[in-house]
A and B are shown apart, each in its own frame.
Chain A
Amino acid sequence: MTRHRDLHPLAWWLWAIGLATAASRTTNPLFLILIIAVAGYVVAARRPEQGWARGFRAYLILGLVVIGIRTVFHIIFGGGLGETVLFRLPELRLPDWAAGIRLGGAVSAEGLVSALYDGLRLATLLICVGAAVTLAEPRRLLRTLPGALYELGLVVVVAISLAPQLVESALRVRRARSLRGGSGTGLRAVASIGMPVLAMALDRAVALAAAMDARGYGRAGSVSAGARRLTAGLLLAGLLGLTLGAYGVLDASAQGGIGLTSLLIGVLASIAGLAVGSRRVLRSRYRTDRVDARSALVAASGVGAGICLVIVSRYDVATAYPSTYPLTAPQLALLPVLGLLLALAPAWIAPAPAGPAAAMPPTARSPGSPGSPGTRALAPGRADETAVSAAARS
């Protein structure tokens, strides 16, 4: 019996990557805050009622920490450029060999704002990742991994389940600390909570890995040494290509052509590596994750938002990167705002989360018709239209 309640596990990740791309293409705080708001709203609307989904707040806090660190560093390590000096810190004279580094000195409004923008962008990227981890069931991702990536899959599953578990155990231990009269705040509390939480996380990670092993995860067929070396080589080349390519594509200042080429080479090498490597693993699927209309729409809405911001960053630089020398008020523009609102669509498109009381009868299935070729070959354009209309309805 197949259910169509769940999205393809990759859909949320594509959506989040789209949003993250959008965030990487602008320093405009209005857009960045809009992205955070969109991600936050969708998480609030479609977050599953389960353990791993409770960690989103932690990502928000992490975001704030990142902004804080970025700003403090800017103030300490020289935020001098710009006319509007806000205040002066005592400046430390450094020897000549450290001529490029400044400690303290004047702090200007321009520099501070630019540091804040930068921090906010980084925080937004983090929050996008957080949204994906919160919305997509991390353990189901494992099943979409090709067999060749056994060890990697194991590491990923353990790592992904670790983060929310850390949050859960931190909350529990903090509550337990109050039993010994600790207030649960302050530096000493961090130490007293950190120790048991880390120990627990480690124990649980080992337990999970052992359980997966005991259940035959990654049983290997026989494979020759040559084939193993070929797999490793291809995968390494693929990874290298992917990394360089991703850098080239995401970094606006790099040459576009090189990025795309290496991305393509990386993808091809990876596919070849996976194909060779997967032959050594025998593995069957109980239920295949099919790409249905909803999944496609969710992914498309995020990717659409990313594309809008890429276009804006190319043709309307002043809006995407508001000037800080001199300081100007950041502007809004129609295209990017519409694009980002598009990414709100999953709050309605995606199936409602199954709560703890979800003894849902099978009749409550979504009316989608995933098998038919028409819906599967849905063009991005059409997907976007639907998404916009869904967003507009709100």
Chain B
Amino acid sequence: MIAFENVSIRYADATTDALTGVDLRVPDGELCLVVGRTGSGKSTLLGAASGHVPHFTGGRLSGRVLVGGRDTREHRPRELADVVGVVGQSPVDGFVTASVEDELAFTMESLGIDRPVMRRRVEETLDLLGLADVRHRPLAALSAGQQQRVAIGSALTAHPRVLVLDEPTSALDPGAAEDVLAALHRLVHDLGITVLLCEHRLERVVQYADSVISLGGPGQRPTYGVPGDVLGTADVAPPVVHLARLAGWTPLPVSVRGARRQAADLRSRLALCTAPSTHRAGGDIALRVSGLTVGYRGAPPVLNDLDLALAQGQVAALMGRNGAGKSTLLWSLQGALKPHRGSVRVGSDDPSAMPPADRRTRVALVPQNPTDLLYLDTVGAECRQGDKESRRPAGTTRTLLDRITPGVGDATDPRDLSEGQRLSLVLAIQLAARPVVLLLDEPTRGLDYLSKDRLGEAVAELARDGVAVLLATHDVEFVATVADRVLVLAGGEIIADGPTRDVVLSSPTYAPQVAKVLAPEPWLTVHDVAHALSVPA
């Protein structure tokens, strides 16, 4: 269905190929997952399949890409629209109309499909993706999961034979991600659509994949094959694969179900060990919130009478579905959002009453989109500006950055950095002010496993230095690794609050893969298991 014939792609001004020697065929009706580290060319590969590369991005494509028998060199993306449906990373950026029905019909209108057919397909798609209840709503009023399903639906109505999805669940909470993936799974099975998909959080998707393309990086040829074979050697793999490698299971399981069937032996061995406690002894109270009520004009309050205390050296994860008020809570803790009622105190100070420059020395926030904070044209200039803003000796920010992520050149433009490097830069800038409390909003979005590990280490080190860290995230695996306390937010209230292990193990949505494989034994991470096995009981 999709054929890459010895394809290499090099962008203008680049010194190395973005993709080298891709020579493979994805057969009809397969769900193919593209994996690789940041910058390994995943988006380029997906773009090449839809004609987006090189028609929109420029660059040189050698070799040939055939989609449904059509050569992408001779067909612009719009002429491939009846064969390939594309769903981008951020569905909102790609919406052309403003309401669900219009959006679903847009591609069909462009293809000149008759109205009765359009009507029928819109109805079918609404049902297929569970969108019938929201059909008349403006797109902007939908939740992130619904928006993503609309984006998939609008690509589907044209009945393409190939669907290309770039990180379809990166912005979604675990529940919404399940919904989207279940819908995809159904499409592959019911309609026989070929799906080409990339995703950083492999633990979410790998069990649905029929095949995997692993991109090694610049200059390396990709490997293609069944998930078990490819992931055994790939440099990125979900926790369940790491666990399987540790336990030496063959054939390599890629799903929780597959792993559980081979895990009986490991479970009985681990039953003899004690799982490490996730609870760290906290220091003094760093942040105290009482009776916090926050809302926007003309709407019910987002946060309602909320109490919370955070100790020094504690790493707490804030979870909850999209739109539960996690970001609102972080911004009110930082002081930029004034609460209607209630108080936020860092020590004895109220951040919302302080000027912004002093506020940062109490509470630092890294927002969901860290790029918003960067505006200079080199990393070096950003670092120097950071020193000035924090009134610290020259070089403070640079030193912090090198500690979090070494090897970011001073002359690099921040816009050319990878997601992980950019996050590190913003983190360094914010940490230069030596805050008492650090707030992170969705820090793992768009990060590959290696960058996530690095972030985890940085957070752990901060906690050791006595900084209280609160991170809002959907990433259950990351939470299992770094957090010692989990808060779940729903309906403006904290509905669960406790040590990570207790909260995470009590619900399957929030349980990490290792916990699911080893249940009822209370283990959360591969690291803990490896540690326990290496120490004789």
Q: Is A210 an interface residue (CB 8 A)?
A: yes
Which residues of A in the span 114-158 have a Cβ within 8 Å of any Cβ on B?
A: 137, 139-140, 142-143, 157
Kindly list chain B residues whose C-beta atoms are within 8 Å of the C-beta of A143. Answer: 97, 102, 109
User: A217–B81 Cα gap in the complex (Å)?
Assistant: 9
Whether the Cβ atoms of A179 and B364 lie closer than 8 Å is yes
1/0 contact trace for B141-173 toward A, CB 8 Å? 100000000000011001000000000000000
Partner of A219, one of B52, B81, B359: B81
Question: Within the complex, what minimum Cβ distance (angstroms) separates B102 from chain A?
Answer: 7
Kindly list chain B residues whose C-beta atoms are within 8 Å of the C-beta of A216. Answer: 78-79, 81-82, 107, 110-111, 158
Whether the Cβ atoms of A213 and B78 lie closer than 8 Å is yes
Q: Which residue of B lies closest to A193 (CB)?
A: B375
Q: Is A178 an interface residue (CB 8 A)?
A: yes
Q: Is A173 an interface residue (CB 8 A)?
A: yes
Interface residues in A, total, Cβ within 8 A? 60
Kindly list chain A residues whose C-beta atoms are within 8 Å of the C-beta of B360. Answer: 179-181
Q: Which residue of A lies closest to B334 (CB)?
A: A179
Q: How many A-B contacts are there with CB distance less than 8 Å?
A: 185
Question: Within the complex, what minimum Cβ distance (angstroms) separates B84 from chain A?
Answer: 8
User: A50–B95 Cα gap in the complex (Å)?
Assistant: 14
Q: Is A284 an interface residue (CB 8 A)?
A: yes
* Contact status of A286 and B109, CB under 8 A, knowing A176-B373, A213-B78: yes
Interface residues in B, total, Cβ within 8 A? 73
Q: Is B336 an interface residue (CB 8 A)?
A: yes
Question: Within the complex, what minimum Cβ distance (angstroms) separates B381 from chain A?
Answer: 12
Which residues of A in the span 1-45 have a Cβ within 8 Å of any Cβ on B?
A: 3, 5
Q: Is B11 an interface residue (CB 8 A)?
A: no
Q: Is B365 an interface residue (CB 8 A)?
A: yes
Whether the Cβ atoms of B109 and A285 lie closer than 8 Å is yes
Partner of B81, one of A48, A49, A178, A215: A215
Question: Within the complex, what minimum Cβ distance (angstroms) separates A122 from chain B?
Answer: 30
Q: Is B389 an interface residue (CB 8 A)?
A: yes
* Contact status of A212 and B96, CB under 8 A, knowing A3-B136, A172-B372, A179-B373: yes
| 9 cross-chain CB contacts under 8 A | A50-B140, A140-B98, A178-B336, A179-B365, A181-B357, A214-B51, A283-B110, A359-B134, A360-B136
Given A3-B136, A181-B433, A357-B141: 15 more A-B contacts, CB < 8 Å: A49-B141, A137-B98, A172-B372, A176-B367, A182-B389, A196-B375, A210-B88, A213-B78, A215-B96, A216-B110, A283-B109, A284-B113, A285-B115, A286-B102, A354-B137
Q: Interface of B with A (CB < 8 Å)? A: 50-52, 55-56, 76-82, 84, 86, 88, 90, 93-98, 101-102, 105-115, 118-119, 122, 133-134, 136-138, 140-141, 154-155, 158, 331, 334, 336, 355-357, 359-360, 364-365, 367, 369, 371-376, 386, 389-390, 415, 429-430, 433
Q: Interface of A with B (CB < 8 Å)? A: 3, 5, 48-51, 137, 139-140, 142-143, 157, 172-173, 175-184, 191-193, 195-196, 199-200, 204, 206-219, 282-287, 354-360, 362
